[in-house]
Amino acid sequence: MNYKISHPTKVVECEIDLPGSKSISNRLLIIQALCKQEFAITNLSSSEDTKSLQKALKATKVTIDIGAAGTSFRFLTAYLSTLVGKRFILTGSNRMKERPIKELVDALLDLGIEIKYLEKTGFPPLAILGTEITENKVSIDGQISSQFISALLLIAPTLKNGLKLQISGKIVSKPYIIMTLKLMEEFGISHTWLENTIEIKPQKYSAKDYNIEADWSAASFWYEIAALCSSCNITLNGLTENSIQGDRKVMELFKNLGVQTKFKNGSIILSKKEENDISKEINLINTPDLYQPLKCTLFAKNLTTKFLGLQSLKDKETNRIKAVEKELLSLVTTKKITTYKDHRMAMSFAPLCLKYETLQINDVAVVEKSYPNFWNDLKKGGFIITPLTH
């Protein structure tokens, strides 16, 4: 299904209930699976990724197909390795089979887990035999994916001798590792992080009911809308100032682009303010998911900056740097946007109708991966969305 999108007034006034954080949801589901006691999770993400992980954790079959859910695949690779004596085949979509898993598998092999590649070395699918892990020291490259590190940290307290994880190189998406450790602390797990080594001793997760905050990554598209509209009063529910999500940095990044953020009773209110000069360089090493909405906003405003810290983007749902460049180049002439099976492509390009009148977004169902209600929420903001049948 493709949509034609426009906004007749360029004035956006609405109140939006953002989805629960996908990143927090996926970590909590692994903690819940590792915890010996039951606890309730409220406001769990309704994303396809989180649903896939929930389903996988309840699976009774040997083969688990996680589809396109990258975080879920990585977390499950580590989690399934701890289920002693059980055999699994972990697979996914064609794109998943192109996304590297070698560094995480190497670390698990060093810990004594039996894992085999079933197709191409270094990539899914995997055959995993759950083993009791007694080794407690391992090293991993921090420059590939923070999710590899989080996957190991989540299982660390349940291992017989805990884990000393040595991280080499510059860490990408460090706030996501900090998020993992903070969530683990909430459930009773302590750690030490000295220089490049994180140590977690054997401990038990303590059960507690948990309400998940809204997703700052989802908020980024509303910041883009606020930056590109003529005026706005946008309330986004479920976001707090003391969030553990790294993507709250979107507030700071869009401040110079004319977006003001006010916190009020568990919500934020976005309004227009005076624009300032954009930084000559923006380093997104800690927040790479903000690249697409930020790049699209700058393009629409005819602004340029040098982006740093984008090395992880080539291994996402698509090569996000190439995909964005290609679609921005064709935007002015074709007004048709290819989404490359990437949810963030659809959601980053849709707001550009505020600048380029009417756009066509192809394969609109991709938003199910992280923000299923995105198109309905756009309608609340006055966007006109017309399904195209051809």
We report the CATH number of the domain holding residue 269 as 3.65.10.10
Same-domain pairing of 221 and 355: yes
Catalytic residue among 49, 141, 247, 289: 289
Q: Please say if the pLDDT value at position 336 is more than 80.
A: yes
Whether the bond into 387 is cis, omega within 30 of 0: no
**pLDDT for the residue 97:** 95
Residues 273 and 242 in one domain: yes
Query: Is it the case that residue 318 has pLDDT exceeding 80?
Result: no
Give the pLDDT confidence score for residue 389 in this predicted structure: 76
Is residue 191 scored above 90 in pLDDT?
A: yes
Calculated CA dihedral for residues 178, 283, 345, 369, nearest 10 degrees: 0
Among 183, 210, 237, where does a domain finish?
210
pLDDT at 1 over 80: yes
Could you give the number of structural domains in the chain?
Answer: 2
Average pLDDT over residues 303-329: 89
User: Are 84 and 179 part of one and the same domain?
Assistant: yes
Q: Are the C-beta atoms of 128 and 114 separated by less than 8 Å?
A: yes
**What is the rounded average pLDDT of the residues 139-160?**
95
Task: Outline where DSSP puts E strands in 67-206.
Answer: 87-91, 114-117, 126-129, 137-141, 163-168, 192-194, 197-200
Band the pLDDT of 390: cuts 50, 70, 90.
low
196: Cβ contacts below 8 Å, ≥ 6 apart: 142, 166, 167, 168
Helix pair angle (22-34, 48-57), 10° resolution: 10
- The model scores a pTM over 0.85: yes
Could you confirm whether 277 is annotated as catalytic?
Answer: no
Range of the domain at 151: 22-210
- How far is CA 277 from each of CA 9, 254, 274, 282, 305, rounded to the nearest angstrom? 27, 11, 10, 13, 10
Tell whether 46 and 93 lie within a shared domain.
Answer: yes
- Looking at residue 316, its pLDDT comes to 76
Tens of pLDDT, residues 5-38: 999 999 999 999 999 999 999 999 999 999 989 9
The 10s digit of each residue's pLDDT in 65-94 is 999 898 999 999 999 999 999 999 999 999
Per-residue pLDDT tens digits for 352-385: 999 998 999 999 999 999 999 999 999 999 999 9
Do both 44 and 59 map to the same domain?
A: yes
What local confidence, expressed as pLDDT, does residue 317 receive? Answer: 74
Reported as a pLDDT band with limits 50, 70 and 90, residue 311 is: confident
Q: Give the residue-averaged pLDDT of 283-295.
A: 94
User: Are both 232 and 206 inside the same structural domain?
Assistant: no
Q: With pLDDT > 70 as the criterion, what percentage of the chain qualifies?
A: 100
User: Are 165 and 118 in a shared domain?
Assistant: yes
Domain shared by 27 and 12, yes or no: no
Last residue of a domain, which of 177, 210, 243? 210
Among 158, 180, 210, the domain boundary falls at: 210
Residues 93-134 pLDDT 10s? 998 999 999 999 999 999 999 999 999 999 999 999 999 999
In whole angstroms, what is the distance from residue 51 CA to residue 46 CA?
A: 7
